[in-house]
Amino acid sequence: MFELKDDWQFELPERYFTLEDYEGGTARWCPGCGDLAVLTAVQKILRDAQMPPENTVCVSGIGCSSRFPHYMKTYGFHGLHGRPLPVACGIKSRRPELDVWVATGDGDCCSIGTGHWLHAVRYNMDMVVMLFDNSVYGLTKKQTSPTSPKGMETNTHPKGAWLPPLDPLAAMLGFTNTSFVAQTVDWNPAHLQATLHAAWQHEGLGFVRILQRCPQFTATVYEDLQKDPSKLLLLTGEGQPRLEPSVARLFPNQRAHLVGDLAGARALAGAADGVPIGVLFRDPSRPRYEEFTAMGLRMSAEQKLAALSRELDRFAV
């Protein structure tokens, strides 16, 4: 029998995860839907980091994108319309060690869920919030959403949307305690994955707006950006998503940006010379609410009862 030399031997990890370990049910999104690219990007991030599936939770509200938890072989919560963020914050407050991902749409987040959106950003709990923005209510078949472009014809506005669209980036950069704001596109998988990875590494609420195609109802909304990459503004510099040179060359319009410059980020959100993609703002020093809600989690039942009795004693007369 042949014997291996010591320097040829290596230790196999006790558990090694492949993409299949994160793949849940078969995705039922329409062919060509941008949601498919986001799903694959998240699965690759978890695979590359070897995150145990049982330590990951995907939370969503209602909408096409909110079927996301069904397609992940992790823990998941498919909640009510506009309510994924309070559910995610509740999970994080009691189980801060879990890896939390939130999938929400432009209607789910920016309309019925706006109040929860604002306060979740202020809480700044450590999670990734992915805003799938296709500028329409797709699941309910083409109604105007808060981000629908002015003039876009929908079933609720057949002569065109009347109002200018809400800008999720500008809104985020005006909320109290915002700590991470980024934007990416679903049709460039490399930039999409790198941006989500940067949000995932951030300690705090990592908000990523994803310009996401709906082939059924808003196939032309981002068509000009796809056909002419010069209309996109690739943000470069320290703290930006790491891209291979071959990917970065796809974007002729590039600009160096300091991720800690809030005023600069706000200017970028309304830039007229290109749609910015990359990290607009990042401040890891912002307080995180789960640092407070986690207090007392490891107390025994006896300790909790004793603490409760002490509090009740304060009201004795």
Evaluate whether residue 294 is within a structural domain: no
Evaluate whether residue 301 is within a structural domain: no
Closest C-alpha to 167, from 185, 150, 192 = 150
Closest C-alpha to 85, from 100, 69, 68, 73 = 100
pLDDT digits (tens, 9 = 90+) for 187-218: 999 999 999 999 999 999 999 999 999 999 99
Closest C-alpha to 110, from 144, 79, 147, 61 = 147
Residue 196 to residue 182: CA distance in whole angstroms: 9
Evaluate whether residue 235 is within a structural domain: yes
> Residue 274 sits in which domain range?
13-288
- Give the pLDDT score at 3: 56
Please give the angle made by the CA atoms of 88, 92 and 94, to the nearest 5 degrees.
120
pLDDT over threshold 90, residue 292 = no
- Give the pLDDT score at 10: 59
Evaluate whether residue 4 is within a structural domain: no
Evaluate whether residue 105 is within a structural domain: yes
- Give the pLDDT score at 304: 85
Average pLDDT over the chain, rounded to whole? Answer: 93
Look at the chain and report how many structural domains it folds into: 1
Task: Report the chain's terminal Cα–Cα distance, integer Å.
Answer: 85
- Give the pLDDT score at 86: 97
Evaluate whether residue 278 is within a structural domain: yes
- Considering the entire predicted model, what is its pTM? 0.91
- Give the pLDDT score at 81: 93
Q: What is the mean pLDDT of the segment spanning 68-94?
A: 96
pLDDT digits (tens, 9 = 90+) for 137-178: 998 898 999 999 999 999 999 999 999 999 999 999 999 999
pLDDT over threshold 90, residue 116 = yes
Evaluate whether residue 244 is within a structural domain: yes
- Give the pLDDT score at 113: 94
pLDDT digits (tens, 9 = 90+) for 36-50: 999 999 999 999 999
Evaluate whether residue 58 is within a structural domain: yes
- Give the pLDDT score at 12: 63
- Which CATH number covers residue 271? 3.40.50.970
Q: What is the mean pLDDT of the segment spanning 70-87?
A: 96
With cut-offs at 50, 70 and 90, classify the pLDDT of residue 98: very high
Q: Which two tokens stand for residue 243?
A: 């891209």
